[in-house]
Amino acid sequence: MNAEQIRERYQQQLDRIQSNRAYSDHARQVLAAKAWSQASQQLEHVRQAELADLASRREQLDRKMFGSTSNADPGTVLARRDAADRAAAIDNPRIAAETLARANRDGDHTLAQAVAAHANGWGWTDVVDQHAANTPGFGEAAQEWNGLPGTGDDFWETKHAMQFLLPKPGGLDRLSDAQAHALADEDMEAA
């Protein structure tokens, strides 16, 4: 169920609760709190699933641009680790560009990726652009990476979370979330 369907179902539940005169006022409050609590939890699950999908896609793109996309034998793992250590020692974008050029000239794809990943971490865009020019598919992956929600927008996660907030129904709007959840946990027999 998506967020819109959850909201629609929630509103239908509230309408049924409010229109049923067989319930006492307190019972209507408890039922409304139960509907709100359940819908809020469902919305949070949808939000978390969206964030997990986004994180997974970022990881896939990161591996495509700077890492290995296949299972590696122990020798390859050691070569990648050595290249990452060598790249981590670089503290100057000029040296990074020279090392990247030398790695490309020598056909050392592992070192080239490690230098590009290191340069990307430091924001040395000229070095990353140099790597992109020599790496098929890198530009497309980088473009998709940059187009993903939240890239470069520090407030995106807050805005995203706000899209999944569910207003409490009237009568409960003065309660804190914890109080509304506690009311939702009440036994209907007591209501």
pLDDT at 77: 85
Mean pLDDT of 76-96: 93
Concatenated DSSP letters of 73-120: -HHHHHHHHHHHHHHHT---HHHHHHHHHHHHHHT-HHHHHHHHHHHH
**Does the pLDDT at position 44 exceed 70?**
yes
Note the helical H segments in the chain. Answer: 3-19, 25-66, 74-88, 93-106, 109-122, 125-133, 138-147, 156-162, 177-184
Q: Burial level of 35, CB count in 10 A (0-12/13-18/19+)?
A: buried
Which amino acid, 122?
W
Phi, psi values for residue 24, rounded to 5°: -75, 165
Q: What is the pTM of this model?
A: 0.77
Q: Tokens at residue 44, please?
A: 């949070």
Please name the residues in contact with 59: beta carbons below 8 A apart, sequence gap of 6 or more: none
Q: What is the pLDDT of residues 151-160, one digit of tens each?
A: 667 789 889 9
Confidence of residue 105 (pLDDT cuts 50, 70, 90): very high
Average pLDDT over residues 66-83: 82
Structure tokens at 18: 């409010």
pLDDT at 191 exceeding the cut of 70: no
pLDDT value at residue 52:
92
pLDDT at 139 over 90: no
Distance in angstroms (rounded) separating the CA atoms of residues 40 and 164: 8
Please give the share of the chain, as a percent, with pLDDT higher than 70: 96
How far, in Å, CA of 84 to CA of 110, rounded?
9
